[in-house]
């Protein structure tokens, strides 16, 4: 089972960002050692719980997020606050993947194809964590909201892991 350590505590920064006032921790028993290591390679804070067999992903205090990047026209079906905590975890994972990609250049890497495979595997793990976080959220995220949110990041999220000067 997975769970969050608390409700998200954040302050609104118009027009669409939020800043965390406290660390947000997500505990998951769905991660395995290979997946956790892959995320750590992208500088995600993933650590083992000393009390359980769970892994903990921490979004640090001060982190700035837009929660979920849902077009305003779709808010009648799913709004960013419907999946807020899961989206913040997912935002952090994608941000770390982008930062990791930003630090390497293809001409300096012996096996760029293998490196890209690692990055897309990290994205796949991040998307599954997003779904897991929505599945185990309290209050519960209804299936008619979480399934489209998951498939949206799975299908359209590739452009979100490409680093640019504006998203690093």
91-120 tens-digit pLDDT: 999 999 888 877 765 556 666 677 788 888
Token pair belonging to 118:
């690692």
Residue 127 has pLDDT above 80, yes or no: yes
What is the structure's pLDDT at 110?
62
As a whole number, mean pLDDT of residues 59-63 equals 94
Q: Are 161 and 98 in contact (CB under 8 A)?
A: yes
Count of helices and strands (H, E) across the chain: 4, 7
Is a pLDDT exceeding 80 seen at residue 168? Answer: no
User: For the chain, what is the mean pLDDT?
Assistant: 85
Both structure tokens of 7: 């409700």
Task: Output the pLDDT for position 39.
Answer: 87
| Beta carbons within 8 Å of 149's beta carbon, 6+ residues apart | 68, 70, 78, 82, 83, 87, 130, 134, 141
pTM confidence score: 0.88
Between 63 and 79, residue with greater pLDDT: 63
């Amino acid at each position: 089972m997975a769970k969050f350590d608390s409700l998200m505590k954040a302050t609104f920064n118009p027009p669409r960002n939020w800043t965390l006032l406290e660390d947000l921790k997500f505990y998951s028993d769905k991660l395995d050692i290979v997946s956790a290591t892959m995320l750590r390679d992208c500088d995600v804070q993933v650590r083992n719980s000393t009390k359980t067999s769970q892994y903990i992903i921490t979004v640090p205090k001060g982190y700035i997020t837009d929660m979920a990047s849902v077009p305003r026209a779709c808010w009648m079906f799913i709004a960013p606050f419907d999946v807020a905590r899961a989206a913040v975890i997912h935002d952090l994972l994608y941000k770390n993947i982008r930062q990791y990609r930003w630090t390497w250049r293809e001409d300096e890497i012996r096996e760029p194809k293998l490196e890209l495979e690692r990055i897309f595997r990290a994205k796949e793990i991040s998307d599954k964590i997003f779904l897991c976080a929505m599945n185990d959220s309290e209050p519960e995220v209804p299936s008619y909201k979480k399934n489209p949110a998951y498939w949206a990041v799975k299908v359209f999220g590739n452009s979100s892991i490409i680093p640019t000067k504006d998203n690093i």
